[in-house]
Amino acid sequence: MRGTMIYGPGDVRSETIPDPVIVDPTDAIIETSATCVCGSDLWYYRGDNEVDKPWAIGHEYVGIVREVGSAVTTVKPGQFVIGSFFASDNTCPHCLYGYQSGCEQAEPVTGCQSEAIRIPLADGTLVAAPDTPADDMLPDLLTLSDVMGTGWYAARAAGVMPGHTAVVVGDGAVGLSAVLAAKEQGADRIIVLSRHADRQAVATEFGATDIVAERGEEAVARVRELTGGIGADSIAECVGTDEAMRTALGVARQGGGVGFVGLPHGVKLSAGKLFNTHVRIQGGGAPVRDYLPDLIARVYDGDFHPGKVFDLKLPLADVAEGYRAMDERRAIKAFLTP
């Protein structure tokens, strides 16, 4: 089958790789209907994360179940399914608390930029859709596997509630998804930090009320100005850099909440600053599996379109162009079909 391998910085290749097979009785094999490039994949592509050997990359997927192991009971061949980028049993204490990404058996799902995928712990990881969707629903449903689920968690972890003023730091696909999540969760005002017109347009469509183009201390000052000097109730940090975290903390009101979902790179937190501002922080790998039933229902209801973050659609064979376009900021997020 065709799959995507990363060999090192700037070196992503579409190649013939072995078909997946059932390894454990809890596995399922999925025929991929759509996959995509994630902003976190770019950490490897840019050399920020080490690639010590070639490996099959990608962790976002939707598709049709081809085969299941003997222990799988909740999904069956022929069903259209969506799953998290973390495999989980969905039965351990951490899962039952709603943190499937911290499952006692958790393992990352990878190799998804391929024509087929082996999904471990299929019963706890995959959720079947009500039916096989039309092609125009695939972008919306694909976001639920990661970016929309991660944006949803960012807003939840930040403590977004009806009437809140929310700030989203980051205008990538996750940041834009966090805008939509904050809107869906009831925020009255949503301030987005963005310097790119195409991303600002999507953010506004998703519910952003204010755009701040400044960065660093200037951004903090501007958000403070917009909030009458008080700061925001809830902040979604969707980048993962030290500057992004400092900005998120800087725009929070006393006792505000920061939900951080950007994969941290060089982030340093000041305990003294947290002590003095009473700001709450929660984050980590999003427990996407916890949100899938609700988010799938929202898509099927017909008025929830997170797939608008995809602005480049390519065949899987052209995956390298998807990486280049996102790296060069010519695209927000690349959608791939086998």
Model confidence band, residue 263 (pLDDT cutoffs 50, 70, 90): confident
Same domain, 158 and 267: yes
Nearest to 238 by CA among 167, 304, 185: 167
Same domain, 266 and 297: no
**What average pLDDT score do residues 209-216 get?**
97
**For residue 17, what is the domain's CATH number?**
3.90.180.10
Tell me: pLDDT of 45 over 90: yes
Same domain, 196 and 325: no
Residue 273: per-residue pLDDT: 83
Number of domain units in the chain: 2
- What range does the domain containing 42 cover? 2-146+287-337
**For residue 201, what is the domain's CATH number?**
3.40.50.720
**H helical segments located in 132-215:** 138-143, 147-158, 173-184, 197-206
Same domain, 132 and 35: yes
Same domain, 26 and 134: yes
Provide the mean pLDDT of the chain.
Answer: 97
Last residue of a domain, one of 261, 283, 305: 283
Model confidence band, residue 282 (pLDDT cutoffs 50, 70, 90): very high
Same domain, 162 and 265: yes
Model confidence pLDDT, tens digit, residues 70-81: 999 999 999 999
**What average pLDDT score do residues 294-318 get?**
97
Nearest to 36 by CA among 12, 60, 56, 54: 60
What percent of the chain is modeled with pLDDT above 90? Answer: 96
Last residue of a domain, one of 240, 266, 283: 283
Model confidence band, residue 177 (pLDDT cutoffs 50, 70, 90): very high
Model confidence pLDDT, tens digit, residues 71-110: 999 999 999 999 999 999 999 999 999 999 999 999 999 9
Provide the 8-state DSSP code for 114.
B
* pTM recorded for the entire structure: 0.96
Same domain, 163 and 124: no
Same domain, 31 and 111: yes
**What average pLDDT score do residues 258-263 get?**
94
Residue 270: per-residue pLDDT: 85
Same domain, 126 and 215: no
Same domain, 270 and 199: yes
Same domain, 186 and 297: no
